[in-house]
Structure 1
Amino acid sequence: MGNEVKKLCFVIGSLERGGTETHLKRVLPLLDRRRFKPSIFCFVRKGELASALEEKGVKVFEPVLFSSLTKHSALFKPLLLVASIFSFISYLLRNKPDVVHFFLPASYLLLGPISLLHKKSKKLMSRRSLNVYQQKYPAFIRGIELWLHQRMHGVIGNSQQVVNELKADEGVPTNKLHLIYNGITVRESSLSQREQIRVSLNIPPDRLVMTIVANLIPYKGHLDLLNACGQLPTRDWILLIVGHDSSSIQGELEHLVEQNNLQDCVHFLGVRNDVTDIWASSDIGLLVSHEEGFSNAVLEGMAANLPMIVTSVGGNAEAVLDGETGLVVPPHSPEDLANAMKKLLKDNVLRHSMGKRAGQRVRQCFSMESCIEGYEALYNQLFLEN
Structure 2
Amino acid sequence: MTDVLVFVGSLAVGGTERHLSQVLPALAKRGWALKVVVFSGGGAFAEPIEAAGIPIEVLPRGFSVPVPKLRGVLALMQQTRALAVGLRRRPPRILHCFLPTCCIVGGLAGRMAGFSPVVMSRRSQAVRPSSFPGDKWMEGWALRHANLVFGHSSRVIDELKAEGIANTKLRLNHNGIDLEAFDDAAGEREGTRRAEQWHPDEIVFATVANLIPYKGHVDLLQAFARLAGNLPWRLALVGQGRPAFTQQLRELSQRLGLAERVDFLGGRADVPRLLKAADAGILASHQEGFPNAILEYMAASLPVIATATGGNFDAVCEDQTGLLIPPAAPELLAQAATLLLNDPLLRKRLGQAGRRRVESTFSLDACVDRYEDAYRGLLGNGHHHG
Q: Does TM, scored on the shorter chain, surpass 0.5?
A: yes
The 3-state SS of whatever aligns with 2:244 is: coil
Amino acid aligned to 1:209: V
Q: Does 1:50 align with 2:43?
A: no
Partner of 1:249: 245
Amino acid aligned to 1:150: R
Q: Percent identity?
A: 37
Return the match for 1:229 from 224, 229, 238.
224
Return the match for 2:144 from 140, 150, 172.
150
Q: Does 1:110 align with 2:99?
A: no
**How many aligned residue pairs are there?**
379
Q: For the residues of structure 1 that align with 2:242 and 2:54, how far apart are their CA atoms?
A: 27
Amino acid aligned to 2:159: E
Please tell me whether the aligned partners of residues 225 and 258 of structure 2 are also in contact (alpha carbons under 8 angstroms).
yes
Q: For the residues of structure 2 that align with 1:34 and 1:239, how far apart are their CA atoms?
A: 40
Partner of 1:174: 167
Partner of 2:156: 162
Please tell me whether the aligned partners of residues 80 and 108 of structure 2 are also in contact (alpha carbons under 8 angstroms).
no
Please tell me whether the aligned partners of residues 216 and 248 of structure 1 are also in contact (alpha carbons under 8 angstroms).
no
The 3-state SS of whatever aligns with 1:297 is: helix
Partner of 2:80: 85
Please tell me whether the aligned partners of residues 31 and 372 of structure 1 are also in contact (alpha carbons under 8 angstroms).
yes
Q: For the residues of structure 2 that align with 1:6 and 1:59, how far apart are their CA atoms?
A: 10
Q: For the residues of structure 1 that align with 2:74 and 2:130, how far apart are their CA atoms?
A: 27
Q: For the residues of structure 1 that align with 2:153 and 2:51, how far apart are their CA atoms?
A: 30
Partner of 1:283: 279
Please tell me whether the aligned partners of residues 73 and 80 of structure 1 are also in contact (alpha carbons under 8 angstroms).
no
Amino acid aligned to 2:146: M
Q: Does 1:63 align with 2:59?
A: yes
Alignment map for 1:1-386 (pairs within 5 Å): 7-32=3-28, 35-65=31-61, 77=72, 80-133=75-128, 138=133, 140-168=134-162, 170-186=163-179, 187-189=182-184, 192-234=187-229, 235-246=231-242, 248-384=244-380
Task: Write out per-residue CA displacement over residues 29-52 of structure 1, whole angstroms, 9 at most, x where no aligned residue.
Answer: 110556521111112445443233
Deviation at 1:190, TM superposition (A): 6.5
Extract unaligned runs of 5+ from structure 2. Answer: none
Extract unaligned runs of 5+ from structure 1. Answer: none
Amino acid aligned to 1:172: I
Amino acid aligned to 2:164: G
Q: For the residues of structure 1 that align with 2:29 and 2:259, how far apart are their CA atoms?
A: 50
Please tell me whether the aligned partners of residues 219 and 329 of structure 2 are also in contact (alpha carbons under 8 angstroms).
yes
> Which deviates more, 153-162 or 125-134?
125-134
Please tell me whether the aligned partners of residues 284 and 306 of structure 1 are also in contact (alpha carbons under 8 angstroms).
yes
- Residue 111 to residue 383, structure 1, CA distance change in 2 (3 Å): closer
Amino acid aligned to 2:103: Y
Aligned-residue Cα RMSD (Å) equals 2.4
Q: For the residues of structure 2 that align with 1:211 and 1:333, how far apart are their CA atoms?
A: 18
Deviation at 1:379, TM superposition (A): 0.3
The 3-state SS of whatever aligns with 1:125 is: strand
> Which deviates more, 229-238 or 325-334?
229-238
Deviation at 1:345, TM superposition (A): 0.6
- Residue 38 to residue 71, structure 1, CA distance change in 2 (3 Å): farther
Q: For the residues of structure 2 that align with 1:311 and 1:100, how far apart are their CA atoms?
A: 34
Q: For the residues of structure 1 that align with 2:334 and 2:14, how far apart are their CA atoms?
A: 27
Q: For the residues of structure 1 that align with 2:29 and 2:367, how far apart are their CA atoms?
A: 16
Deviation at 1:99, TM superposition (A): 0.7
Amino acid aligned to 1:83: Q
